[in-house]
Amino acid sequence: MSQNCSPQQLIQFVNCRLVRNHQLIVDDLWVRDGKIINPEPVFYDERATANQRIDCGGAIIAPGYIDLQINGGYGVDFSYDKDTIEAGVRKVAVSLVGSGVTSFCPTLVTSPNDSYHTILPRMPRRIEGGAGILGVHAEGPFINPQKKGAHPANCIQTIDNGMETLRSTYGELDRIKIITLAPEQVSDANVIDELVRAGITVSLGHSMASLSDGERAVRHGATLITHLFNAMLPFHHRDPGLVGLLTSDQIPPGRIVYFGIIADGVHTHSAALRIAYRTHPDGLILVTDAISALGLEDGIHHIGQLPLEVKQGRAFIAGTDTLCGSIAPMDECVRIFQRATGCSKVFAIEAATLHPARCLGIEREKGTLDFGSDADFIVLNDDLQVLSTWIAGERVYKSSN
């Protein structure tokens, strides 16, 4: 790989295979002004040649990974480090590029209202040299206390007064991109319609919802399920719960219900990954749901309210055998998922690129290598190891291997 290039330069990546149109194609990638461009007008109208040609050595070029659910990492907890949130988000954004993530949604677990009012206005919108921030994923507080997981029970709320409840809880909504809620905790489902009109993706999770509860929420505009199989009723043949949305015949025509799934080798059994993949592949989105211990070495770490112990690639509450969250980076999740399901490399990549982009409605800018898309991409070897990461046409990470 070459040295960094000026974003105004015309850059041609050669000797590479592109993830494009659901397949690997042998072609060059052309980049200028932070965008992926069509080279034909360059040849025929401008009669220009590349300022720089970069030989990729036969590697794969894929869109950059998009993580819709990440609670922190590298010693930072987005929900608890509210007084240093700007520096914390910056640290995570710069670190994530090493795992191929070029865009993410910082995720806040259920918190007191004053935490939201402090954190959300201070959430950075852009980090130089780091992964882009798509908006906050507010995972709670409108969840079911019976499926709270690690969320603090004393902060859980219900939506009793529509958008007024949401504004009093979060403050302004303009920094929020996704809200996870339990549909049975919403007295008037019309609030889901209002959130969708405001440009917010509504996700269903941490819930005791029946299938009919989920179908009602989808009819009102919900389009995502938060970490499928985790923090919801298990599949039952008489009422499959939210899991049943993957095969429901009550989904509005043309609507895709997406679902996040954690393929870290711990939270979701490989058989469950295969069930989800074979049942509803179009909706499958890989998420890390990573916690502050992501990227930390083995040992005891004092982060948030409880000391954590990292050992052998897993995070535990220190001194116990209780798992406390995922610490697998996105590139590892992609590899685990591909091995577990036997899917193509392209599908595994698209589950972390195209699918999350489509879910958020940003597929014209992110998640593809189409002409006009942002030049956020990664270079991979055949084992799906990240060789380099590029954001807006500039290299922000290069592997030392």
Residues of the binding site for Zn(2+): 139, 206, 227
Q: Residue 299 CA to chain centroid, in angstroms?
A: 27
Residue type, 24: L
Q: Would you report the helix, strand and coil content of the chain in percent, each value rounded to 5?
A: 30, 30, 40
Which residues are annotated binding-site positions for substrate?
150, 230-231, 238, 267, 323-325
* Tokens of residue 271, six digits: 């058989």
* Tokens of residue 228, six digits: 């499928």
Q: Is 289 a catalytic residue?
A: yes
Give the single-character DSSP code of 276. Answer: H
CB 53 within 8 A of CB 274: no
**168: Cβ contacts below 8 Å, ≥ 6 apart:** 113
Give me Rg for the CA atoms of the chain. 21
Q: Residue 12 CA to chain centroid, in angstroms?
A: 29
* CA 266 vs CA 126, 288, 338, 363, 388: distances in Å: 32, 11, 15, 30, 27
**Which residues share a beta bridge with 55?**
14
Residue type, 359: C
What does the buried/exposed string (b/e) look like for 179-208 if buried means 16 or more CB atoms within 10 Å of the residue's CB?
bbbbbbbbeebebbebbeeeebbbbbbbbb
CA atoms within 13 A on the CB side of 176: 26
CA atoms within 13 A on the CB side of 150: 17
**Which one of the listed residues 81, 289, 331, 376 is annotated catalytic?**
289
Q: Which of 13, 49, 38, 43 is nearest to 28 (CA)?
A: 13
* Tokens of residue 250, six digits: 């009550």
d(CA 210, CA 69): 24
d(CA 369, CA 71): 28
Q: Which of 263, 221, 257, 252 is nearest to 242 (CA)?
A: 257
Which residues are annotated binding-site positions?
139, 150, 206, 227, 230-231, 238, 267, 323-325
Which amino acids are annotated catalytic?
A: 289
